[in-house]
Amino acid sequence: MNRYHRQILLPQIGEKGQRALAASRVLLIGVGALGTVIADQLVRAGVGFLRIIDRDLVELTNLQRQMLFDESDAKQNLPKAIAAANRLRAVNSEVKLDPIIADVDAGNFEDFIEKSDLILDGTDNVATRYLINDVSVKHKIPWIYGAAVATEGRVMTILPGKTPCLRCVFPDAPSPGELPTCDTAGVLGSVSSVVASIQSVEAIKVLSGNAQAISQEMRVLDLWTNRLRAVSLDDARRTDCPCCGKHQYEFLKSNHTSITSLCGRDAIQIRGGRGRLDLDQLQQQLQKSGELTRTPYFLRIRLSDPKDVELTVFPDARTIVKGTTDAGRARAIFSRFIGD
C-alpha cells in the first residue's frame, strides 16, 4: 500500500494533490522548536525537496521541544541541519533533503531560494523574519510566519500580491531586547508543536494546489489560558507598505551586522567576511592556544588564556565566542586568535 494512502483519502488532497506535493520544493529557515516539527510533518506528508538551513548546534536544552533530536545528537554537538537530515532520511527516503549549515542574512539569502515554492519560518528571531518577508515579496514566493514564546503562539500565511505581508501588519521590526524570546521567557514544547502544526497544514494547502483554503486571518493562541483568537487581516493590506506596496526591500539591502549577541546564551557570534575558512590551517595555527576539538563541521578551542572563553569556528567564516556577552571583548578575542 502507498505510504500516503491515508492522506490521499482526503478529498482535499487526493492523488492530484499528492502529486503536487511530491513535485514541490520547500525552503525551511531554522530547524529548532518550530522547524523540527515542520520538517517532520512535511517529510512524512511527502514533499519532493526540502532545503533546511540552520546555523546552530544541538544542545541538551533543545531536547525539551526540538522533536527530531536526541541525547546522542546533543552529546556529539551535531549541527542541527545535519542531525535533522539524518533523522528525516530514516523517516522518508523518498524526499530529497538538502541540509545547509549557515546563518541566513541579507548577503546570502537569495543564493538559497532557487526554485523554492514556499518558505517556512522556523526562526527564533525577528530580524530574520523581516528578511524572509522581503525575499518572499521580491521573488513572489509564499511564506508562512510562525512564532512561539512562553505559552503563546502566532501563525500567518503570506501570499505575495494576494494577502497582506508581515510589514503591512507590523510595519517596523522591534528593536533587539524589546520582545521576550524563548531564551528569556521560556516556551512550552507543546505550544511550539501546535504552532508548527498549523504552519505545516497551511504549507500543505499551498503546495497541494489548495492555496484558496489558507487562513485569511492571523491565528493567535494561548494554550495555557485556552484562548484562541483570529485577528482579521481584511483591511490590513496597505498601499504604502514599504515592502509589498512600495517594493523597497529595506531588510534585504541593510548591511549585515557582523556581531550578533546570542540571546540568553552567554555568547557572541562574529562573522568575518564572506569567504570560507580553512579549518585545517586554523587548527595548525591554534594548536598551542588551548584544548582543540575538531569535527567535520567545526573547530572548537577552549582557550588557555583567557580561561573562561571557548571559540567555535565554522567553515562559513562564523565564530561563536562563548563565555562573554561583551561584544567588544568578543571582538578583541576574535581578532587575536582568528584574525580579521
Residues that bind Zn ion (CB under 5 A): 165, 167-168, 241, 243-244
The pair phi, psi for residue 301, each rounded to 5°, is -135, 125
For Zn ion, the closer of residues 20 and 165 by Cβ is: 165
Alpha carbon 46 to its chain's center: 20
CB 187 within 8 A of CB 65: yes
Between CA 11 and CA 158, with CA 233 as vertex, the angle to 5 degrees is: 60
Round to whole Å and give the CA distance between 266 and 101: 21
46 grid coordinates: 511527502
Cβ at position 239, least distance to Zn ion in Å: 9
For Zn ion, the closer of residues 12 and 248 by Cβ is: 248
For Zn ion, the closer of residues 41 and 136 by Cβ is: 136
For Zn ion, the closer of residues 13 and 214 by Cβ is: 214
Of 268, 265, 258, 309, nearest to 286 by C-alpha is: 309
For Zn ion, the closer of residues 215 and 261 by Cβ is: 215
Residue 36 contacts by C-beta under 8 Å, 6 or more apart in sequence? 66, 67, 68, 69, 84, 122, 196
Q: Is 315 exposed, middle or buried (0-12, 13-18, 19+ CB in 10 A)?
A: middle
68: how many CB neighbours lie within 10 A of its CB?
A: 23
Round to whole Å and give the CA distance between 272 and 9: 52
For Zn ion, the closer of residues 246 and 274 by Cβ is: 246
